[in-house]
Structure formats: structure tokens, C-alpha cells
Amino acid sequence: MAHRLAQISSHLNYPQGLLANQVAIITGAGQGIGAETAKLFANEGAKVVIADIDAGQANYALAKAGVVGLTRTIAKEWGPAFGVRSNTIAFGHVQTRLTAAKEKGAFITTPDGTKVALGIPGKQLESRQGGVGEQKQTYPDIPLGRPASPEEAAKSVLAVASPLFSYVTGETIRVTGGRNM
């Protein structure tokens, strides 16, 4: 049996996993997309360092815009200097506490003790889902007709980080089920 397994694995392209001998630092790995990414990366042979702090969202928009520019700059400057690839992923609707109904009560506490509710107001979520009754059409603005699971979202991170994307750098890859094309 062990001999047969060794025989089979010698035919695989990545017998030790897609990320063997790599170190991955995954921030926000406490839950949601980050947690699924950490699990997938570990499963593919990476040594995974996880970090999580339940922080506030005041800098959200600024940070998101900044990441796109930072991605390109790192690709341009660190590509030639260090052979580094740099990409970012722009998600659409992924099912985590951020996209659950606000009425479910998830919140974060900012350093000054203020509680900030997370999620989308139930009514808004309902209309995103396509309303109710005979008019109901599931997620009409998403061509794939559904949100992504956190694991699906994490798989796209694995794909981009893997050797399968070895010639892709400086890109912002949209993982949206086709939303906002």
C-alpha cells in the first residue's frame, strides 16, 4: 500500500501540496474568509502564521483603495528586485458576519469602547436576495445567482498564491460571481 501511494504521488505535480515550504502570514484569520484561507493553506503544505484583532472599520475605504495601489507598486518595485509577485482580490458578496443580517447582532468594539454593529439591514439583504413571493429571483445582480461561501473565497486566495499563478502579478482579481461587470 505504501509503495502504491509513493508510486501515485510521484505522478502528481505537487505531491507535497501547492504551497510546500512556503510561509504564509494570514491576518484576520480568526473567522470568515481568513480562517478558511488559513485552513486551505495549511492543507497545501504552507507554514501558516495567523494574526487577528477585532478592529474598527473607520479606515475601511481608504485601506481598500490603498491596497490596489500598493499591490501594483510592490509588483513593479519588488518584482525586479526580489522576484516577488503581488496581487489582490476584490470580493463581491461572501457569506460572513459582514454580510449577515444586521439584526443577528454581530458587532465589534472600538478601542474607545464604542460598539459598532456589523452586517446588512435585513430589508436591504432581502432586496439583494431578490425580494419575496412570485417576484423572487435569487440575487438578480449576481450572474451566478448566489453569494460565495467563505471557503470558495479562500480558494481564490489559494489559487492566486499558488504556483499556478506564477506569471500573474500587479493584478486586482475580482471574485464576485460576475457582480458589477
Spatial separation of the C-alpha atoms in residues 103 and 28, rounded to whole Å: 23
Q: Are 73 and 67 spatial neighbours (Cβ–Cβ below 8 Å)?
A: no
In Å, how far are 75, 77, 91 from 81, measured between CA atoms?
10, 7, 29
Placement of cell 475580482 in the chain: 174
Residue 101: CB minimum distance to ligand NAD, A = 14
Q: Based on CB atoms, which residue is closest to ligand NAD, 2 or 61? A: 61
Q: Which residues contact 70 (CB under 8 A, 6 or more apart)?
A: 86
Q: Residue 41, interface with ligand NAD (CB under 6 A)?
A: no
Check if 14 is active-site.
Answer: no
Segment interacting with ligand NAD, rule: CB under 6 A, options 45-53, 79-87, 121-129, 137-145: 45-53
Q: Residue 28, interface with ligand NAD (CB under 6 A)?
A: yes
Q: Residue 77, interface with ligand NAD (CB under 6 A)?
A: no
Segment interacting with ligand NAD, rule: CB under 6 A, options 1-9, 15-23, 26-34, 123-131: 26-34
**Which residue numbers are catalytic?**
60
